């Protein structure tokens, strides 16, 4: 909570709560506050008018034009609904999400230096899976991965 609040601001935290992504309250057991599922570092920091800009590109030859359009629409829908992120085609940005067809569906968690790999391989080209993997790129990880 504090990490997200510090990086993105109270309005973003409230939006995430309203969407059910963050709980309304933190759980504390002993002196340990429940981890909300975001990586403690590697958050995307480029903003335009308060909106986090996340550049993306498709690996050459990995997807048909139709598949690229679908993926772009799916991640744009997620961005619109959030109100605080925007996926933009990569131009000259050195840090960006590189969408590629590797084995399986996966993504590194959080911003990586250079090309950040997101794989939408065989069986992964659905709205839910694409958005799931892009949430990893945004620094969210699986709840079962939390130390608490």
Joined together, the tokens standing for residue 148 give 């608490």
- Is the pLDDT score of 24 beyond 50? no
- The reported pLDDT for the residue numbered 21 is 54
- Hey, which residues does 116 pair with through a beta bridge? 97
Catalytic positions are 133
Q: How many residues does the chain have?
A: 148
- The reported pLDDT for the residue numbered 35 is 41
pTM of structure: 0.70
- Is the pLDDT score of 98 beyond 50? yes
- 36-40, 89-93, 103-107, 116-120: range with lowest mean pLDDT: 36-40
**Model confidence pLDDT, tens digit, residues 26-82:** 433 334 343 434 445 567 877 788 788 999 999 999 999 999 999 999 999 988 888
**Model confidence pLDDT, tens digit, residues 2-15:** 455 555 666 666 66
Phi and psi torsions of 117, nearest 5°: -75, 130
What stretches of the chain adopt beta strand conformation (E)? 28-29, 32-33, 47-48, 51-58, 85-89, 96-100, 105-107, 115-120
CB atoms within 10 A of CB 137: 25
Residue 91 sits at the vertex; the CA angle it makes with 90 and 93, to the nearest 5 degrees, is: 75
Q: Give the integer Cα–Cα distance in Å for 148 and 77.
A: 31
**Model confidence pLDDT, tens digit, residues 115-140:** 989 999 999 999 989 998 998 888 87
């Amino acid at each position: 909570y504090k990490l997200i609040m510090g990086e993105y601001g109270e309005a973003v935290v409230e939006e995430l709560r309203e969407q059910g992504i963050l709980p309304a309250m933190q759980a504390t057991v002993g002196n340990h506050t429940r981890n909300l599922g975001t990586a403690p570092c590697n958050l995307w920091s480029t903003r335009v008018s308060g909106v986090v800009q996340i550049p993306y590109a498709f690996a050459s030859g990995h997807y048909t034009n139709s598949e690229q359009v679908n993926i772009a629409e799916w991640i744009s829908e997620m961005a619109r609904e959030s109100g605080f992120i925007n996926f933009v085609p990569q131009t000259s940005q050195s840090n960006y999400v590189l969408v590629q067809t590797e084995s399986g569906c996966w993504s590194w968690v959080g911003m990586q230096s250079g090309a950040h790999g997101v794989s939408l391989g065989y069986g992964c080209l659905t709205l839910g899976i694409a958005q799931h993997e892009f949430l990893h790129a945004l620094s969210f990880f699986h709840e079962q991965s939390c130390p608490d």
